[in-house]
């Protein structure tokens, strides 16, 4: 009898339409939230070689399309919301010695904020599930009293959903601004020096990754005799092949100083009896030579 009454209702049309409109408004806002969350999760941690970044990004975006809201919220809280007491992640080894880019966006929260935000996001998932799966079980919208209760509940629900959406929009905007700043920096000469030459903005040099050491090793591969390379031969080749690579670029007065400062090479001095002058030879330190060999194509 109860089911028959539901199939042949005498609905309070005006109240019922208000409930339907407000339920639809909540569900639309939830879908907007979910679409934005998918984009944020997909783009907030991108890593790979330069030529493969677009493929990585496309694959991550496609993967998020299949995730539920609960899964996406879990990814957000576990990967991109960190408390002050947590490590924000460790760097991954390159393995093949190639160039590797990583953009990682995360929000640092204190312990109380992190706990409160995580709990609020879980409540949002529960709210969504309740609206989608259990709304009609909770509210009898074929009765005036049920419509009134549902109407008030939907007003409060929309306020909660909209608050979460606005917060997420702020996070997404901050991520986009960070990505834009990174892209702008990557177009500067400072970034080129960092990437190609291992020279940080403060002038410090990452010698193993520096262009100078790379050039010395290239010359070593071409001109080594019994494991040693004549420095004059190497520098002549570097001037011809890589004129932009000069010791002064690295704060050094000579290539001998580059070798000394880099600590990547051994050096020895000999006398050329035919020419009656001293000569400087160098070779990669044995442990460095081993690593260089592993990283070579």
CATH number at 239 reads: 3.30.420.610
Question: What six digits make up the tokens of 9?
Answer: 């209702």
Q: From CA 121, how far away is CA 164, in angstroms rounded?
A: 8
| Residue 41 reports pLDDT greater than 80 | yes
Residue 62 contacts residue 41 (beta carbons within 8 Å): no
Helix (H) or strand (E) holding 81: strand 81-83
Q: Of the segments 15-29, 63-77, 266-280, which one has the largest average pLDDT value?
A: 15-29
Of 187, 212, 231, the position where a domain reaches its end is 187
Q: Of the segments 4-18, 70-84, 243-257, 271-285, which one has the largest average pLDDT value?
A: 243-257
Spell out the residues 6+ positions from residue 212 whose beta carbon is closer than 8 angstroms to its own: 197, 245, 247, 249, 250, 258, 262
Query: Is residue 1 in a domain?
Result: no
Query: Is residue 49 in a domain?
Result: yes
pLDDT bucket at 297, cuts 50 / 70 / 90: very low
Alpha-carbon distance values, 54 to 59, 66, 116, 293 (Å): 9, 19, 35, 30
pLDDT bucket at 190, cuts 50 / 70 / 90: confident
Query: Is residue 163 in a domain?
Result: yes
Query: Is residue 228 in a domain?
Result: yes
**Residues 182, 240 within the same domain:** no
Question: What six digits make up the tokens of 40?
Answer: 């944020």
Residues present in the chain in total: 297
Range of 168's domain? 8-89+99-187
Kindly state the greatest CA–CA separation across the chain.
116
Q: Which of 1, 18, 255 is nearest to 158 (CA)?
A: 18
| Residue 170 reports pLDDT greater than 60 | yes
pLDDT bucket at 109, cuts 50 / 70 / 90: confident
| Residue 4 reports pLDDT greater than 50 | no
Query: Is residue 94 in a domain?
Result: no
**Residues 167, 214 within the same domain:** no
In the chain, the percentage of residues whose pLDDT exceeds 90 is: 52
**Residues 180, 203 within the same domain:** no
Spell out the residues 6+ positions from residue 233 whose beta carbon is closer than 8 angstroms to its own: 219, 223
Task: Read off the pTM.
Answer: 0.63
Residue 206 contacts residue 200 (beta carbons within 8 Å): yes
pLDDT at 254: 95
| Residue 97 reports pLDDT greater than 70 | no
Residue 106 contacts residue 82 (beta carbons within 8 Å): yes
Mean pLDDT within 29-41: 93
- How many angstroms from the chain centroid is the CA of residue 47? 6
pLDDT in tens, 213-266: 999 999 999 999 999 999 999 999 999 999 999 999 999 999 999 999 999 999
**Residues 204, 57 within the same domain:** no
**Residues 172, 69 within the same domain:** yes
Residue where the block lists tokens 């090479």: 265
pLDDT at 242: 94
Q: From CA 166, how far away is CA 154, in angstroms rounded?
A: 18
pLDDT bucket at 288, cuts 50 / 70 / 90: low
**Residues 110, 245 within the same domain:** no
pLDDT at 94: 45
233 CB burial (10 A radius; 0-12, 13-18, 19+): middle
Of 126, 154, 187, the position where a domain reaches its end is 187
Number of domains in the chain: 2
| Residue 167 reports pLDDT greater than 90 | yes
Query: Is residue 3 in a domain?
Result: no
| Residue 8 reports pLDDT greater than 50 | no
Question: What six digits make up the tokens of 108?
Answer: 């640092």
Residue 207 contacts residue 259 (beta carbons within 8 Å): no
Of 187, 210, 230, the position where a domain reaches its end is 187
**Residues 71, 155 within the same domain:** yes
**Residues 232, 286 within the same domain:** yes
More confident residue, 94 or 187: 187
Q: From CA 280, how far away is CA 206, in angstroms rounded?
A: 24
**Residues 256, 143 within the same domain:** no
Spell out the residues 6+ positions from residue 207 whose beta carbon is closer than 8 angstroms to its own: 198, 213, 261, 262, 263, 264
Q: Are strands 81-83 and 107-109 parallel, antiparallel or unpaired?
A: parallel
Mean pLDDT within 125-151: 95
**Residues 215, 182 within the same domain:** no
**Range of lowest pLDDT (83-97, 108-122, 155-169, 228-242):** 83-97
Mean pLDDT within 171-190: 85
**Residues 34, 179 within the same domain:** yes
Question: What six digits make up the tokens of 4?
Answer: 């028959």
Residue 266 contacts residue 283 (beta carbons within 8 Å): yes
pLDDT bucket at 140, cuts 50 / 70 / 90: very high
Mean pLDDT within 146-173: 96
| Residue 95 reports pLDDT greater than 50 | no
Residue where the block lists tokens 């393995």: 95
Alpha-carbon distance values, 179 to 37, 110, 175 (Å): 17, 24, 6
Query: Is residue 147 in a domain?
Result: yes
Query: Is residue 2 in a domain?
Result: no
**Residues 178, 268 within the same domain:** no
């Amino acid at each position: 009898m109860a089911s028959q009454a539901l199939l042949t209702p005498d609905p309070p049309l005006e109240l019922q339409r208000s409930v339907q409109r407000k339920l639809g408004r909540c569900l639309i806002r939830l879908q907007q939230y979910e679409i934005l969350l998918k984009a944020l999760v997909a783009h907030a941690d991108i890593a790979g070689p330069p030529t493969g970044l677009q493929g990585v990004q496309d694959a991550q975006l496609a993967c998020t399309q299949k995730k539920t809201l609960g899964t996406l919220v879990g990814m957000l809280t576990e990967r991109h919301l960190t408390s002050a007491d947590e490590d924000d992640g460790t760097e991954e080894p390159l393995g093949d010695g190639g160039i590797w880019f990583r953009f990682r966006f995360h929000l640092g929260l204190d312990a109380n904020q992190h706990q409160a935000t995580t709990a609020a996001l879980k409540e949002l998932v529960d709210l969504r599930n309740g609206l989608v799966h259990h709304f009609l079980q909770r509210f009898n919208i074929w009765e005036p009293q049920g419509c009134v209760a549902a109407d008030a509940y939907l007003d409060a629900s929309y306020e909660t959903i909209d608050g979460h959406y606005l917060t997420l929009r702020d996070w997404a905007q901050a991520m986009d601004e960070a990505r834009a700043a990174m892209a702008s920096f990557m177009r500067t000469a400072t970034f080129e020096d960092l990437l190609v030459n291992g020279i940080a903005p403060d002038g410090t040099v990452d010698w193993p990754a520096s262009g100078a050491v790379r050039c010395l090793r290239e010359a070593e591969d071409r001109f080594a005799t019994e494991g040693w390379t004549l420095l004059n031969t190497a520098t002549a080749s570097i001037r011809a092949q890589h004129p932009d690579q000069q010791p002064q670029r690295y704060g050094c007065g000579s290539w001998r100083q580059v070798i000394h400062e880099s600590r990547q090479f051994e050096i020895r001095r000999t006398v050329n009896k035919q020419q009656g002058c001293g000569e400087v030879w160098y070779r990669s330190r044995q442990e460095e030579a081993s690593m260089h060999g592993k990283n070579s194509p």
